[in-house]
A and B are shown apart, each in its own frame.
Chain A
Amino acid sequence: MKLSKRIGLIASIAAVGLTLAACGNNNKNAGSAKTTKYSAALVTDGGGVDDKSFNQSGWEGLEAWGKKNGLKKGVGGYNYAQSNSDADFTPNINKLIQAKYQTIFGIGYKLESAIKNAAKANPKTNFVIIDDVIPAKNVASVTFKDNEGAFLAGVAAAKTTKTKKVGFIGGVHSAVIDRFEAGFRQGVAAVDKNISVDVKYANDFSKPDVGQALANAMFNNDEDVIYQAAGGTGAGVFSAAKNQIKKKKVWVIGVDQDQTAEGQYKGGNLTLTSTVKGVGTAMEKLADDAKDGKFPGGKTTVYGLKEKGVSLTKGNLSAAAWKSVQDYQKKIIDGSLKVAEKPSQLNKK
């Protein structure tokens, strides 16, 4: 049994090889790469480009760029490589390099070390890292002041709440989500120090059930506005709100993309507003720069409210709340108001 199985396996592997080799001879030119100056691709930080969040907005930016320049999806145009696990980062990047993509985007801080190593080994390729900083000549770093967008979300929540109680649901404690929490809490306190902010973490970016349970607890505790910065977990916050809306008025604030569609229910919409992170816009611009030979390698671009890299949608905000949001936005843009990056900075005040 054992030996025969072994031989079987050798055979099967040989067979894969032979069959494929045969195909290869017939179609040698089918998959070969065409080189153009303008090709660009992104590597996701886990999951696909339909995550209704980070990867998706990056991909939409790259698609828009490709269409604008008359490129097609695929080698020589624009494309994405999906990472099913962290172990896929380096193979994906190397395969994109071999397929001669000129500019390679790493979406998210998790790709930092993979991009750093690849940039060192491939000095002629342009790399971009989102949400982290890599000091190398052929790497452009892009970071976002999420805390500024979150601050405005805090203002919006404080101006909308009737119960003087609001909630924040984060994905996983990390430098990025810390910025959301700090900004939101500071924004709420700026409007009214007596409004309480209930902060909870799901410890996962892809568990809607946990998001739903946390949100239900918050709503039952009379909190009527919840800001979620929790990726896929956030979908559960919306479903919890849709159940509560039958009994009382509640709101959810969306994250990363305009999540108005998520808050649609029979008889209205419960998405108060969304903080939008312009990953797509930033990528579109960088891809353009690379095309024009002006790739900002070695530089870090910080996108805040001023650069329109983060913003707050008007959504269902009342006129008074929206006016207040715009007043604070002006103060942040002209520098007279600084927004904290870490919750620990708030406690000191």
Chain B
Amino acid sequence: MRIKNLRFGNLWISVTSVILGMLVGAIIMLLSGFNPIENYVSLFTGAVGSPNAIGEVLREATPLILTGLGFAVANSAGFFNIGLAGQALAGWLASVTFALAFPHAPGFILLPGAILAGAIAGALWSGIAGFLRAYFGASEVITTIMLNYVALYATNAIVKGFLAKGDGDYSPTIPVQARLRTPFLEHLTQNSTFHWGILVSLAAVVVVWWLMKKTTLGFEIRAVGMNEDASRYAGMSTKRTIISAMLISGCLAGLGGAMEGLGNFQNIIVNTALPSIGFDGMSVSLLATGSPVGIVLAALLFGMLKIGGLNISIASTTPPEIVDIVIAAVIFFVGANYLIRYLSVKLRRHPRQPEAVASDTQPEAAVAERAAQAEEEGEDTK
């Protein structure tokens, strides 16, 4: 009974945080002289109002799920993998290069091969940081940030020097049988960029959940994340675990990049900045506190806000800058729901105190909280 109540509490806390975010967004729009209701309607119709919009949202979420999972795996081992963007770029480059290298190979070999190439490239790229961390104690934050730049400029040089035709700064389009976008899906979603990569993302969700919860490696990764010294004392090979966690993380980020290469863009371009799926994936993962199912939902939320947001300034005179602020406000409040949780507990206690004796209610609340904590911890270690 109590647990049910608590869950209901969580539900309304999340509802509140979204509503609060939207209210702050509405105030910003009102202050700048734009109609918030009209704009939220545009956002909503732009995100789920047509098959095309839904297709775009799912496409936007596809790589975010993968980079989000990648961040979560490294994070459970105690690493802050900031290199997701560079690893994704490595995966993007490898998958497109593979697809372009064998233009006449049949699809059932070429497509899995290209996806695998992307995963391996991403894993190798993060593996460098994992190796340096395991054997030399080099901070993965610094090495992955620097490797991001190496990946960006090396990829640009390779695209311009080897893949692009003439003076262009983009590679040719990959062969038809390697594309994740198909005429069937385009027809289904009114020419959106939706592609089959969503299946890869969902499969990765299951695999990561299974890996982290049901395997020895997953247990070791989490153990190292909690206390590296204790894990070593318990007889685990921390070096191996560190490298494994970084390899898996980079592999997932590389898959995310492959989705952009084989699905969204179907080629590779000279990028002036790192792909945004890296940092957005970090936000997605942190928003979902690392839970695989939560990552799917957070990625969908990101996709809805990003794609729906584009519609606001198309349907009205609101400038895109205001839209970006509003969207950031919504994400901020969803991320900061801890604050609302804290406030709601405070607010709920106060009206009660005059009715009952203080010594009576407070232990009850404490017990409820402790029970909830026990439940959470039980889940975490199961």
Contact = CB atoms under 8 A, between A and B. Distances in A.
Interface of A: 1-13, 15-17, 19-21, 23-24, 26-27, 30-31, 33, 41, 46, 48, 73-75, 79-82, 84-88, 90-92, 94-96, 98-99, 110, 113, 117-118, 121-122, 172-175, 178, 204-206, 342
Interface residues of B, number: 78
A24 B44 contact: yes
A204 B46 CA distance: 33
Contact of B376 (A2, A74, A92, A205): A2
A20 B41 contact: yes
Interface in B278-320: 287-289, 291, 293-294, 297-298, 300-301, 304, 307, 310-311, 313-317, 320
A174 B169 contact: yes
Interface stretch (B122-130, B247-255, B269-277): B269-277
A12 B173 contact: no
B37 A5 contact: no
A91 B192 CA distance: 7
Given A31-B316, A121-B191, A5 B18 contact: no
B368 to A, nearest CB: 13
- Across the A-B interface, the 7 shortest Cβ-Cβ residue pairs: A1-B376, A20-B44, A12-B14, A8-B14, A82-B320, A15-B15, A11-B11
B140 interface: no
Given A6-B293, A26-B37, A178-B167, A95 B191 contact: no
A10 B264 CA distance: 27
B7 A1 contact: no
B265 interface: yes
Contact of A3 (B267, B275, B304, B379): B379
A11 B294 CA distance: 11
B27 interface: no
B177 interface: no
Contacts of B324: 84
Interface centre among B17, B43, B44, B168 (most CB of A within 10 A): B44
Identify which of A84, A87, A95, A206 gathers the most chain B CB atoms within 10 Å of its CB: A95
Contacts of A121: 186, 191
23 contacts: A5-B10, A6-B291, A8-B10, A11-B14, A13-B301, A16-B301, A17-B44, A19-B18, A19-B40, A23-B44, A24-B45, A31-B315, A41-B314, A75-B316, A79-B314, A79-B317, A90-B192, A90-B193, A94-B191, A95-B314, A121-B191, A173-B160, A174-B169
Interface of B: 6-7, 10-15, 17-19, 22, 35, 37-38, 40-46, 48, 50, 52, 56, 60, 160, 166-169, 173, 186, 190-193, 260, 264-265, 267, 269-272, 275-276, 287-289, 291, 293-294, 297-298, 300-301, 304, 307, 310-311, 313-317, 320-321, 324, 330, 334, 337, 372, 376-377, 379-380
A94 B56 contact: yes
B301 to A, nearest CB: 6
B310 A81 contact: yes
A16 B18 contact: yes
Nearest to A101: B314
A3 B40 CA distance: 29
Contacts of B14: 8-9, 11-12, 15
A204 B272 contact: yes
Contacts of B168: 174-175
B272 A205 contact: yes
A96 B314 CA distance: 7
Given A7-B11, A172-B272, A13 B317 contact: no
